[in-house]
Every structure is written in structure tokens, then in C-alpha cells.
Amino acid sequence: MILKSLRLNGFRNIASAEINPCEKVNIILGQNAQGKTNLLEAIWILTGNKSFRGARENQMIPFGEEVFRVEASFKDREREQFLSFTGGEKKRKILLNGMPLKSPSELSGVFPAVIFDPTGLSIVQDGPGERRKFLDDAISNIQPSYAKYLSQYQAVLEQRNALLRDGMRYEQFRDTLDVWDLQLAKLGTILSILREDYLKKLKPAAAEIYGGFTGFSEAFSAEYESSVFEEGTELTAYTDELIEQFFTVLKENRELDRRMKYTTRGIHRDDLKFTIDGRPARIYGSQGQKRSCAVALKLAEAAMIRGILKENPLVLLDDVMSELDQNRQDYILNRVRDFQVFITCCDVSNTLRMESGCIFSVCGGEVCEA
């Protein structure tokens, strides 16, 4: 997919702007707080996802205005399309080729993109919850049924935890624990299989990209760490045997769970382990290495979307150049092929190694081609 044109009206500090991006690399250059990230956020809104900055729609509307508008023409593998998103939680209006859509979720798969912003480092350096969220979001984007299973798992988990907190002193409630455990085991097993399968496919792509960053002088790897299944368990098919293993772990940990008043084992406690040359990146990696890991994972996610949807997603990289050496910057500027890329940066010297592409300058909410 190629974004051919983008027009903004009243989006955060950008009163009005129109750009016609290049098909490969597009640099959005400017000092801090000028509107660079706002431009990326406007593109991201067209995917149908919520703001990657955690903002509500009414927070993107300038003071004194009622709505914002983002319009784009883009070419997918079949035709050129037009998308208009008028934002405002009470006055939202989304048009795809002139036809109204009921909700942003209907844009899923229509305008695919991946985003890296500075909080993306949390995938590598923060706790397991951030890594699980990365995996859950990535799988949900290409397999909607995964989000349904995950929501069901969370609902059953909440019921089990409520029983552990408040219901265990009543015999009639204790007897229902088997029922909740079996449901949790069934849902947890299928989610474990889907996670393992996705990571198995993502890992070689991420390793190849990370190798490109370093001239293959460093080796990146990623492994799924289950809190239920032992290392080496084949998670390839949904079987009664795997469900029974999950159920047994829950049953064996009931006494601990009663004392802790929450469920201590399950997919909600699993983790991903990223290593560089066999050493945990979270502990031993430099800031540049951690950033490289996170970016490699996001670019690999883009490759996964391309493989599933048969459409190239946009790649949005916010403040990705800082803390990267020249070789890693060169790879991002010149070696990320097959994708249309948008990169924000503050330092014009970071663009000097770019072999081809466009540079857009942003100052005080005004955007122009440099």
C-alpha cells in the first residue's frame, strides 16, 4: 500500500496541511513540540486504531474547534481509494470511497500500518506485561479471532480471581472452581498455541533485520516463556492432552492461588525473552541495542502483516534515530525495502546518509516540503 496524499484540518496544532509523500522514505524534520508526532498520529488514526499516545479523539481537536479532519488517498494492490476521518467522539464521521462506516474497527485491514514510538522500548526493557501486549496487539491485527479468545480468557480469569478472593469460604462456590479452571485451560491453550506460532514466524524476520542493523556482527533471538507448559512442549495443535496439562497446573496451584488471592499461572503470566548473542537484552543490552531490538520487532511485524494480508503496511517510526549509530541509521534510511516509511527526527544531520526520499519540515504546526 502507498499513501499518495494526506490532508489535515484542525488536528492538534496543525491548522491545515497537505503533503504528497514519496513511495519509499519520508523524513518529518523539526524541533520538539512542533507537530512532527502529530503528523504520524493523524496517519495512525486512519488504521482504525486508537491513538498510540493514549489520547481520546476530543483531545486531538484544537481549542475552540468541534472536530478534526484527516483525509488520505492511497493505492493498494487493486486500486486507488479515498479515506476521510472526521474526529470528535460525538461527531465522528468516517467515509471510505464516499461510503460511510459505522465505526473505526471497520478500517481493520483497509489501511494497515505499524508504529514505533519512544514507548516502544518498553517491549524490551520493561516488565512482561509490555511484551505480552506487543504480542497480543500484533496477533489481533491479523487474526481478529485472537482478540475474541483473549477477551473471553480475561473474563473467565476475573471470575476465577473473584472466587479466590471472596468465595472460597463458601463450599457451594468452591465446587465451581473446576468449571472455571477447565474454561481457562481451554482458552489458555489455544492462545498459547497462537502466540507460539506467531513468534515462531516473527523470530527469523526480526533476526534478519537486527542482523542488517549490525552487519550481522550480533545475533538476535526471541523465545516464548510459558508459565504453564514446560520448555520444549510442542504447541502446534489444539489437543485434549495440552488442555489437560493446563488444567493440571491450575489445579496443582490452587492452594498458592488461594493464599495469593489471584491466579499465579496462565497466559497472563507468560513472557517473551529477547537475547543478543545469547544474553538477555533487557539486562545486558545498551540503549542502542534495545532500541534496535524493538525496531526490528516492529519491522518484522510489518513483514508478517504483508505475508497475511498480501498488502504492504505503512511503517511509522517516531524519534527512532536517537541512540542509534551510523550503521543502524543507514539501514533504516536506505535498507528498509518494500515499505513506505515515515520517520520523525530533530537533527538534520541524521538525514544526510539518505540515498533517496522526501523531507518535510514541521515548524509551529506548519508543514512544508524541504
Provide the CATH number for the domain around residue 33. Answer: 3.40.50.300
pLDDT value, residue 172: 58
pLDDT value, residue 343: 96
Considering the domain architecture, whether residues 92 and 57 belong to the same structural domain is answered as yes
Question: Counting beta carbons within 10 angstroms of the beta carbon of residue 53, is it exposed (0 to 12), middle (13 to 18) or buried (19 or more)?
Answer: middle
Pairing of strands 358-363, 25-29: parallel
C-alpha cell at 122: 518498553
Whether 290 maps to a domain, the answer reads: no
Whether 331 maps to a domain, the answer reads: yes
From residue 247, give the alpha-carbon distance in Å to each of 187, 252, 270. 11, 9, 16
Considering the domain architecture, whether residues 261 and 182 belong to the same structural domain is answered as yes
Closest of 116, 153, 290 to residue 213, by C-alpha:
290
Considering the domain architecture, whether residues 210 and 85 belong to the same structural domain is answered as no
Give the DSSP H or E segment for 115.
strand 113-116
Mark which of 241, 266, 283 sits at the end of a domain.
283
Whether 184 maps to a domain, the answer reads: yes
pLDDT value, residue 126: 94
- CA distance linking residue 5 with residue 20, whole number of Å: 4
pLDDT value, residue 28: 95
Closest of 156, 118, 98, 50 to residue 322, by C-alpha:
118
- CA distance linking residue 318 with residue 224, whole number of Å: 27
Considering the domain architecture, whether residues 102 and 73 belong to the same structural domain is answered as yes
Considering the domain architecture, whether residues 27 and 142 belong to the same structural domain is answered as no
Query: At 219, which CATH number?
Result: 1.20.1050.90
pLDDT value, residue 322: 81
pLDDT value, residue 218: 95
- CA distance linking residue 87 with residue 345, whole number of Å: 27
C-alpha cell at 159: 471470575
The greatest distance separating any two alpha carbons of the chain, rounded to the nearest whole angstrom, comes to 73
Whether 292 maps to a domain, the answer reads: no
| Structural domains of the chain, count | 2
Whether 299 maps to a domain, the answer reads: no
Considering the domain architecture, whether residues 150 and 93 belong to the same structural domain is answered as no
Residue stretches of the chain with pLDDT short of 70: 89, 167-174
Whether 306 maps to a domain, the answer reads: no
Q: Sheet containing 2-11: which strands, arranged edge to edge?
A: 14-19, 2-11, 68-75, 80-87, 93-96, 99-101
User: Residue 359 is part of which domain span?
Assistant: 2-112+311-369
Whether 297 maps to a domain, the answer reads: no
H helices present in the chain, as ranges: 36-45, 122-125, 128-142, 144-162, 171-174, 177-214, 240-252, 254-260, 281-284, 287-309, 326-334
Q: Are 362 and 36 in contact (CB under 8 A)?
A: yes
